[in-house]
């Protein structure tokens, strides 16, 4: 594939190797998206004249900073903090913060790049960003988490604001961490303003933000199956992860009549052939909320089988919903799902499916919903939180849930509109093109300089 990114490189891969060396996750995301949008750019003189290609693969800003903080034992530790403000053409930057040892510029650039299109898909005015730190919270005390959040915000506050950049949570950044981050920002600035989303409802958070991503995933799945003369009711579902997205996706899947038979974490997965229920999910949430715990304890409590260090994709089921982390579903796992008759794959996490696995699904005509569409419910409700904060109002859960439901349907419809060829829907292509058009048109209209 030839790309006119600059005079020196005649392929996207060569360009990325030279301009973003050692950033495999970022390359993967860019190559996948660009394959879908290159034909759209090639057909548009306006996009070519504005050099949209080149500008879309360069973050507007990548901020890296030192986070020095004190352990309970009095030792000073140093981590690295980041904020990648990727594209602000359609609104203030918006995207989560992740605390995990695997956080690198490559991971955050891929996430912020994807976030740009995801945010556009929601129909709300939000640019794309992502941030976080290589800090590992496992085994840290509550006081250490609080001090780390404070030290992180001491620097981040220079770069964010309600009209500039409004971060949210992501892996290991839940409502507790958002509370500490918000408190620190408020004390430094002396202002109570909507600078973070995912806040508790007691201090200007939105109803349903916690549930939104997982619920949205299952709303999208339901629409996707209905569009293919099928239904979620009675389906068996494999879910990976045991965090925010996974547990709320499981809860909604069950409410819609499906049977969820797996959950996982970084130590392995549990197969519960009887299916999860509310009691089991509540227990998982409470158990995993304690620092450094493994899901293995589930089988002692409720039975089922534990598979140490493995992912759930060896189990037979109708639906696979990877909801843990990037590249957790390999080509080999995909072959296995196909062999077992899996009908649809829906990404709750960001880019959990490797390029190889996507190729397997495409070859076998498995319905595939990409994360940037399927998990957009979280950022959509974050967008609703921003507007509630602006007008100092609090919408109730029913109202927010109804809006979330409508937004997920609109995203599904946009994917179908842009992704249908010869009667078949390529949801990944549809999501990429629909998100791209909105961002690119805004970039053209705003010019440069």
- Catalytic positions are 130
| Cβ nearer to ligand NDP, comparing 222 with 325 | 325
Interface region with ligand NDP, contact rule CB under 6 A, candidates 11-19, 37-45, 263-271, 353-361: 263-271
CB of 297 to ligand NDP, least distance (A): 12
Contact with ligand NDP (CB under 6 A): which of 153, 184, 245, 373?
A: 245
Contact with ligand NDP (CB under 6 A): which of 32, 114, 170, 418?
A: 170
Contact with ligand NDP (CB under 6 A): which of 29, 171, 232, 400?
A: 171
Report if residue 126 touches ligand NDP, rule: CB under 6 A: no
Interface region with ligand NDP, contact rule CB under 6 A, candidates 15-23, 49-57, 261-269, 389-397: 261-269
Interface region with ligand NDP, contact rule CB under 6 A, candidates 9-17, 260-268, 302-310, 404-412: 260-268
State how beta strands 420-421 and 61-70 pair.
unpaired
CB of 204 to ligand NDP, least distance (A): 18
Report if residue 197 touches ligand NDP, rule: CB under 6 A: no
CB of 323 to ligand NDP, least distance (A): 6
* Touching ligand NDP, residues 347-376 (CB under 6 A): 348-350, 375
Q: Which residues is 271 bridged to in the sheet?
A: 262, 305
Report if residue 242 touches ligand NDP, rule: CB under 6 A: yes
| Cβ nearer to ligand NDP, comparing 172 with 222 | 172
Interface region with ligand NDP, contact rule CB under 6 A, candidates 10-18, 37-45, 222-230, 236-244: 236-244
Report if residue 407 touches ligand NDP, rule: CB under 6 A: no
CA-to-CA distance for 228 and 225, rounded, in angstroms?
5
Q: What are phi and psi of 28, to 5 degrees?
A: -55, -45
**What mask of x and - would describe binding to ligand NDP in positions 266 to 305, judged by CB under 6 A?**
xx--------------------x-----------------
CA-to-CA distance for 118 and 434, rounded, in angstroms?
10
CA-to-CA distance for 73 and 385, rounded, in angstroms?
38
Nearest residue to 297 (alpha-carbon basis) of 309, 310, 311, 283: 283
Place of tokens 């996707």: 224
Interface region with ligand NDP, contact rule CB under 6 A, candidates 273-281, 343-351, 424-432, 434-442: 343-351
CA-to-CA distance for 383 and 89, rounded, in angstroms?
16
CB of 376 to ligand NDP, least distance (A): 8
The C-alpha angle with vertex 210 and arms to 326 and 67, in degrees rounded to 5, equals 60
Q: Which residues is 263 bridged to in the sheet?
A: 270
| Cβ nearer to ligand NDP, comparing 41 with 108 | 108
Nearest residue to 118 (alpha-carbon basis) of 354, 377, 366: 377
Report if residue 394 touches ligand NDP, rule: CB under 6 A: no
Contact with ligand NDP (CB under 6 A): which of 325, 336, 388, 432?
A: 325
Residue ranges binding ligand NDP (CB under 6 A): 169-172, 213, 241-246, 265-267, 288, 323-325, 328, 348-350, 375, 378
């Amino acid at each position: 594939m030839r790309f006119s990114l600059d005079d020196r490189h005649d392929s996207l891969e060569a360009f990325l190797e030279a301009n973003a060396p050692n950033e495999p996750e970022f390359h993967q995301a860019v190559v996948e998206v660009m394959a879908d949008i290159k034909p759209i750019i090639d057909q548009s003189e306006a996009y070519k004249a504005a050099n949209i290609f080149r500008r879309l693969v360069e973050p507007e800003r990548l901020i890296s900073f030192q986070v020095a903080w004190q352990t309970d034992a009095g030792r000073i530790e140093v981590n690295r903090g980041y904020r990648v403000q990727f594209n602000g053409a359609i609104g203030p930057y918006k995207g989560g913060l992740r605390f995990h040892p695997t956080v690198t510029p490559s991971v955050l650039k891929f996430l912020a790049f994807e976030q740009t299109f995801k945010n556009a898909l929601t129909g709300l005015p939000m640019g794309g960003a992502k941030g976080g730190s290589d800090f590992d919270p496992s085994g840290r005390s509550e006081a250490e988490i609080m001090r780390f959040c404070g030290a992180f915000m001491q620097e981040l506050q220079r770069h964010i604001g309600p009209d500039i950049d409004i971060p949210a949570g992501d892996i290991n950044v839940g409502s507790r961490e958002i509370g500490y981050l918000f408190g620190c920002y408020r004390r430094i600035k002396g202002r109570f303003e909507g600078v973070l989303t995912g806040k508790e409802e007691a201090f200007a958070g939105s109803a349903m933000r916690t549930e939104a991503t997982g619920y949205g995933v299952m709303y999208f799945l339901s629409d996707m199956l209905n569009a293919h003369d099928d239904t979620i009711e009675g389906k068996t579902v494999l879910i990976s992860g045991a965090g925010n997205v996974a547990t709320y996706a499981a809860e909604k899947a069950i409410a819609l009549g499906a049977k969820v038979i797996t959950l996982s974490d970084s130590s392995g997965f549990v197969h519960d052939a009887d299916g999860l229920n509310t009691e089991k999910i509540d227990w998982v949430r409470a158990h995993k909320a304690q620092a450094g715990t493994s899901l293995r304890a589930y089988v002692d409590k409720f039975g089922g089988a534990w598979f140490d260090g493995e992912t759930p994709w060896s189990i037979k089921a109708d639906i696979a919903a990877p909801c843990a982390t990037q590249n957790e579903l390999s080509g080999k796992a995909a072959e296995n799902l196909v062999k077992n008759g899996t009908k649809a794959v829906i990404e709750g996490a960001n880019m959990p499916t490797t390029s190889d696995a996507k190729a397997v699904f495409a070859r076998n005509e498995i319905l595939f919903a990409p994360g940037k569409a399927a998990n957009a419910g979280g950022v959509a409700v974050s967008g609703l939180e921003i507007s509630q904060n602006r007008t100092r109002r609090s919408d109730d859960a029913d109202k927010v849930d109804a809006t979330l439901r409508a937004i997920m349907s609109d995203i599904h419809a946009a994917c179908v509109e842009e992704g249908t060829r010869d009667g078949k829907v390529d949801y990944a292509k549809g999501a990429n093109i629909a998100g791209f058009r909105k961002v690119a048109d805004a970039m053209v209209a705003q010019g440069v300089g």
